[in-house]
Structures are given as structure tokens and as C-alpha cells.
Amino acid sequence: MRHPEPDLPAPRRTTREWQAADAAHFLHPFTDHQALASRGVRVITRGEGIYVWDSEGHRILDAMSGLWCVNVGYGQPALVEAAARQMTQLPYYNAFFQTTTPVAVALAEKLAALAPEGFQHVFFTNSGSEANDTNLRLVRRYWDLLGQPERRVVISRENAYHGSTLAAASLGGMPDMHAQGGLPIPGIVHVGQPHQWAHRDGAARGLDADAFGRLAAQWLEDKILALGPKTVAAFIAEPVQGAGGVIVPPASYWPEVQRICDRYDILLISDEVICGFGRTGRWWGCETVGSRPDLMTFAKGVTSGYVPLGGVMVGERVARVLIERGGEFEHGFTYSGHPVACAVALANLALIEELDLVRRVREDTGPWLAERLATLRDHPLVGDVQSCGLMAAVQLAREPRTGAAFDPAHAVGMACRRHCFDGGLVMRAVGDRMIVAPPLVITRAEIDEMVGLVRQALDRTLEEARAAGWV
């Protein structure tokens, strides 16, 4: 599709000029700025469908949906028009002082209709991080109101990602994040993740997927018993870990986790920021893995990333206590229920329904992606392939047969990511695990193209590895 150069609210410059100005002024998230400045940042200027273009005119297939969010793809006029209409009519009003806006009410109603049974209420935030901070506030408030203030500890998992504020980064299980700034904050502890490949030489040795799933769930129960069940407030987890490397748990894991949470009366928080809104082939990841959460975190896909919005779906168990016994809940954000964000979310959800994207992921594109990715198993660099709906991981290994890993110093994943970019594909590297999560509008033909680009990048990575003597 021909795309006219838009009139940007920024001056026209060459790529080098943008790079210099970026290096001079823009502190990026999760970035080594010295390294970035020496290489030069990539400047992305527009998008259409599943593709973005850089300032040099290269077309790039965005197999990461921006950052797991652009689920309806780029350039959807319905979302743009919804934002423009709302901005014209009422760009902002708050929800603090006994006021509301029709569009925020309509979105809350819509989310309650889409959520699993037992969810009737939503608390809006601007991001997933704020939503998980909100969860911590809600969970503590809940147990306080029930007269069990000693239930304070929230259990999470190693390598989890729940955001980047102090509380959200603490809830996450990323060692590099914890190493900066004295995290986690008190009252948050972590257990192992159901990542069979990572545990292949240890706990998972000799176990089939089923047995390993039950073992990983047992780690949660062991932790609860060690802490004392009456001190544990909640367990938080992504149905399928995203940023940790698309870790698809064995089928036995979640039913066991649910049984354990029920047994000790512990609240379950399902972080649906990536898994929600169709990514796994159901509206919510918990429906795919079979859990019954009390709270659900959402963000990213709710607006397909067109504008920021996040929130917490609050199940009736918590909502009742909060509403009937709680009085004022001393928490909220200036932009909770922002009208423009809510308008875009409503348009986005309507489009997902109109295009039947959730069913397509479940019955068509998800299985197709799994089938196409399976063809990579014969590649000399590929040790494992996992997928769930439209999120997938390709595990690189020095010796796929034995599962022997590369020397981390060789940063093979980063090398592969470079070859992806050079070949016109955005794929992310989590260590030596390559991950994709393409827009949900991707077609079978586009999946074929994407997997072709992945194979090409793997071939080039193999050439580089051989030339460098890494294999």
C-alpha cells in the first residue's frame, strides 16, 4: 500500500541527524546508552499492517507487535477516528470527584462482559506497571479489611516480568532489575518458573512435561508452607511468561497452582498484559491455561498500543470487600479512565470482534504458526520450539541433540537478532531464546514470510557462529 509521507510534528532530518539528537537528549528504557550511541539508534517512521519502515526506507516485518501490543496492526483508521472524535468532544475529564465520563463507563461495561465469570469491576491505570502496583494495594487492603493484616507476602516467579515501577519490578523476577536500586521491596518473594528447558540439567532431568509441571507447582506450595500459609496474601503470574522468553508451562502446571491457591485461600493474580485480548487464542490467558484468578492485570493489547491504557479486572471476591466494607480506597491516577484511551480501547475491542481475531488465533493462525515453526526443528542451531497462540520461542543451542548451550559471552541471541534486523524482521532475543509475538491480524501467507525470515536469520547466525568458532 502506498503511504504518503505524513506531516510529522517534528522537523525533517537525515537519519544521522536523528541519531545525534537522540543520543544527545533521549534516555531510552532498558538501554546501554554508550553502546547505543556508538552504533546509532534505528529510527522508525511509519507502520502499516504488520510492517514498519525505518528512516532509510527499509521495510521491517514487526514480529513483536511493537512491544507485544499492536495486536490489530498499524494504521487502523477506526482507532484513529475514535481518538479524534473523543478529543474533539471531551479530551479529558477526571473520575475522582464523583464524576464519570460515558466512554469510561462503556469500556468498564465492555471489559466486564468480555471477562470470565465473576468479574464485574475494573480499576483503570495508564500502564501494566501501575496496574500491578494497584494489585499490591488492593491485595493488602483486602486482607486488612478482612482482619488478616498478617497476610502480607506476595509470591511471584523468577524471571517474571510485571513492569518497572518499584513495586512492579519487585514483583517481577528479573535479577538484573533487582540488582539496581535495592529490589525487591519487602514482602515479595519468588519461586522457580515452569521452564523445562532451563531446568533440563537440574530439577527437570529425567522428568516428562507432566511431572515437571507438577514439580514446578510444588515449588509454590513448598514456599507457602515455609512462609506460613497465613502470611501469604497472593500469588502473581503470567499465564504464559512473555518477556521471560515465552515460557509455555506444561499442561499440568496451572491446575496444580489453582489447587494450591484454593487450598491455602491465597488470592491469584493473573497478569494478562501480554496474554489478554486474544494473544493465546482466548480473550484471556487464564482461559487458555485453565486458572480462575481473583484479579487480572491488563494493558498493552487493550488499545493495541495506540495510546497508553492499563488496569485491573477486580473479581467479585475482592470487589465486594472493597466496596461493602472499605469506605474510600486511597489510590488512583489523574488519568484513570482517560476518555481518549477508553475510546480507543472500545474501537480496538470492536475491531478484534469484527475481524474475529480471537477465534482466528485459536483455530487458524495459532496452529499454523506452530506448524510452520516446527519446520525449524531440523535447523542445526535450534534446540527447542514452543508456542501458544501467537506467541512463540525458538531456543538456540550449541548442540541441539544434547541441549548444550552456547557460551553466554558469545551472545548468540543478540547476533541472531542483528541478522533478523538486517534481513527485515523484528524478533527479540532473551538470552539465546528468540521470541516472536506478531500482530493478531497476521495472515497465513505473512506467517510463512515471517518464518522464512527467521530461517534466513538462523542460517546467517550459524555462518557467523561457525566462522567465529562458537560451534
Ligand X SMILES: *Cc1c(COP(=O)(O)O)cnc(C)c1O
Footprint on this chain of ligand X (rule: CB under 6 A): 68, 127-129, 161-163, 238, 242-243, 271, 273-274, 299-300, 310
Query: Within 156-233, where are the H helices?
Result: 166-171, 175-178, 209-227
Question: Please, which residue, 242 or 250, has the CB nearer to ligand X?
Answer: 242
Rounded least distance, CB 228 to ligand X, Å? 28
* Number of residues in the chain: 471
Question: Please, which residue, 243 or 415, has the CB nearer to ligand X?
Answer: 243
Rounded least distance, CB 300 to ligand X, Å? 6
- Cα(5)–Cα(183) distance, integer angstroms: 45
DSSP output for 400-444: TTTTBPPPGGG-HHHHHHHHHHHTTEE-EEETTEEEE---TT--H
**Residue carrying C-alpha cell 500482530:** 439
Question: Please, which residue, 72 or 215, has the CB nearer to ligand X?
Answer: 72
Question: Please, which residue, 63 or 273, has the CB nearer to ligand X?
Answer: 273
Rounded least distance, CB 333 to ligand X, Å? 12
Q: How many CA atoms lie within 13 A of 67 on its CB side?
A: 13
Q: Which of 124, 139, 168, 76 is nearest to 298 (CA)?
A: 124
Q: Which of 5, 372, 357, 430 is nearest to 176 (CA)?
A: 430
- Cα(104)–Cα(433) distance, integer angstroms: 39
Question: Please, which residue, 68 or 406, has the CB nearer to ligand X?
Answer: 68
Rounded least distance, CB 176 to ligand X, Å? 16
What DSSP state is assigned to residue 361?
I
> What's the CA angle centered on 312, arms 393 and 267, to 5 degrees?
85
Question: Please, which residue, 224 or 299, has the CB nearer to ligand X?
Answer: 299
Question: Please, which residue, 221 or 287, has the CB nearer to ligand X?
Answer: 287
Q: How many CA atoms lie within 13 A of 178 on its CB side?
A: 17
Rounded least distance, CB 244 to ligand X, Å? 9
Rounded least distance, CB 7 to ligand X, Å? 29
Rounded least distance, CB 393 to ligand X, Å? 15
Residue 387: strand pairing partners: 392
Question: Please, which residue, 79 or 236, has the CB nearer to ligand X?
Answer: 236
Question: Please, which residue, 379 or 433, has the CB nearer to ligand X?
Answer: 433
Phi-psi region of 40 (alpha: psi -120 to 50; beta: other; left: phi over 0): left
Q: Measured at CB, which residue is nearest to ligand X?
A: 128
Rounded least distance, CB 444 to ligand X, Å? 26
**What is the SS3 assignment for 322?**
helix
Asked if 281 and 288 count as a contact pair (C-beta separation under 8 A), the reply is yes
Rounded least distance, CB 403 to ligand X, Å? 27
- C-alpha cell of residue 166: 518499584
